[in-house]
Amino acid sequence: MKAHNFASYHIRKWYSFTEETLANESGQLADGEPLFKYAIAAAIHNPYAGRYSESLEQLVEPSPLLGEEFGRRIRQLAGERVIVSYGKACVVGTLGEYEHGNAFLTNPAADPIREALGGGKSWVPSTGKRGAPGVTIDVPLAHKDALYVRSHYDSLSLSFNDGPSPDEILIIWAFATRGRLHARLGGLEAKDVRGENGLI
């Protein structure tokens, strides 16, 4: 058993990522502020690697503390910039089950991150898979208060050169400060969000 160094988890490594987009793919300068995207990830030992367990409480029970740390780290990374979009993902090492990664993506882990962002009415888009070190994962993004804001449907492609190891799980949260540059497909606009039910 690997020694605990965060609650009852063994975290081998934290990752952080920043992307700043000044112009879109055809060279049009940003229509307003540049688009900042951020990602925070942790490589966490999987105590269920190589075995089946009906209960996944070892992963779920301490996950609110992990959510608090993700929230602290995104606030530190983004500084004064306001986060308006979010998404989450997991990559499970080959000795684990996809379900092990999903155990980290439930509401107990997500709610502290919403709180760190000043709230979030919308459900958090997510994805995941099993994979080896260096595998690419596309983390979906959507507006944090209204899922139907079409301009904020986006993603962030990430890979990690040394993770996950077979007995690890990569937990990833991604964030953005605005919608796509020059989004022009109509629908609910961010300025008109009511933020009542997570949809509009």
DSSP assignment string, 8-76: TB-EEEEEEEEEEE-B-TT-PBPSSSPEEEEEEEEEEE-TTTTS--S--HHHHTTHHHHHHHHHHHHHH
pLDDT of residue 192: 85
Let me know: does 78 contact 116? Beta carbons within 8 Å.
no
For 40-62, the pLDDT digits (tens) are: 999 999 999 999 999 999 999 99
What percent of the chain stands above pLDDT 70?
100
For 116-148, the pLDDT digits (tens) are: 999 999 999 999 999 999 999 999 999 999 999
* Largest pairwise CA distance in the chain: 53
User: Domain 11-192 adopts which CATH fold?
Assistant: 60s Ribosomal Protein L30; Chain: A; (3.30.1330)
Using the predicted structure, report yes or no on whether residue 1 has a pLDDT greater than 90: no
